Structure 1
Amino acid sequence: MTAEFAVALPSVILLLALLLAGSAAGVTQLRVEEAARGGARALARGAAVGEVGDIVRRLAGETARSEVALDGEWGRVTVTGRVPGAVGTLVPWVLSATAWARPEAPGAAIQPAVDGTSREARLGT
């Protein structure tokens, strides 16, 4: 009985670690998707690029990165984040989500980058 337990224990621990890593990846993907949607909604309401970055970091965590790109009247918010935890540091899982938005007010335009010269801005850490 003891020998069988000693052989099975590492397998059970490995299975538990993989389940926890998969759960962490799932939660991270949900947070990244929600942050992309929230950033796109703010962009559609006319928020500046810096405000979008603040919203993304508040929803997805301080380690999340966001990219805001403007294409005509459409704005795109792409958010990337790493899976936390011990297995997430061993396996470099980077998850991402993208959301598109148009301005809510007819005839309004999504604001360009803060300095007005770049059509694309990279935010985050």
Structure 2
Amino acid sequence: MPSERRQPPGAGRPDGDAGYTTAEAAVALPALVLVSAMLLWAVLVGSAQVRCVDAAREAARAAARGDPAAAALGQAAAPQGASVSVSAAGDRVRAEVSALSGGPGGLLSFRVSATAVAEREPGEPGARP
């Protein structure tokens, strides 16, 4: 009895699925790149928001201590190109930070902002006795 070699399943038949993997990859790859870019954009916007919150908190705390450079301290902690304003009303100070979080190529720019309020430290002008 001659020995017969077993062939893998599907061997000897024409492959009807040839090229489908390449076509599926060609369709899926741009979608994956787009999703990755959008996720990166979301992380950058979130990072800018956190930096605005930190900058507003820093400026409000400095103003509550009576530091005349409170806005400059907030500007140093804020994202590039952010606007920082510090105002006082009675025994409270308020710091507002606003910045434009640019997207890839300047597209999808998103404005982020944060506000922090602090009570003046005892002994500072305007503080409650």
Which bin holds the TM-score, normalised by the shorter protein? 0.7 to 0.9
Deviation at 1:67, TM superposition (A): 1.5
Q: Distance in 1 between matches of 2:63 and 2:125?
A: 11
Q: Distance in 1 between matches of 2:124 and 2:40?
A: 48
Other-structure match for 1:108: 125
Which structure 2 residue ranges, 5 or more long, are not aligned? 1-20
Which structure 1 residue ranges, 5 or more long, are not aligned? 111-125
Other-structure match for 2:56: 36
**Runs of 4 or more consecutive aligned structure 1 residues displaced over 2 Å after TM superposition:** 106-110
Q: CA RMSD in A?
A: 1.7
Q: Distance in 1 between matches of 2:116 and 2:22?
A: 54
Aligned residues: 107
**Residue 116 of structure 2: SS of its match in structure 1?**
strand
- The structure carrying a bigger helix percent of its residues is 1
Other-structure match for 2:45: 25
Other-structure match for 2:112: 95
Higher relative contact order (CA 8 A, sep 6+): 1
Instruction: Indicate the structure (1 or 2) with the bigger Cα radius of gyration.
Output: 2
Pair 2,39 (structure 1): closer, same or farther in 2 beyond 3 Å: same
TM-score (ref. length: structure 2): 0.75
Q: Distance in 2 between matches of 1:35 and 1:91?
A: 23
TM-score (ref. length: structure 1): 0.78
* The one of 62, 79, 84 aligned to 2:97: 79
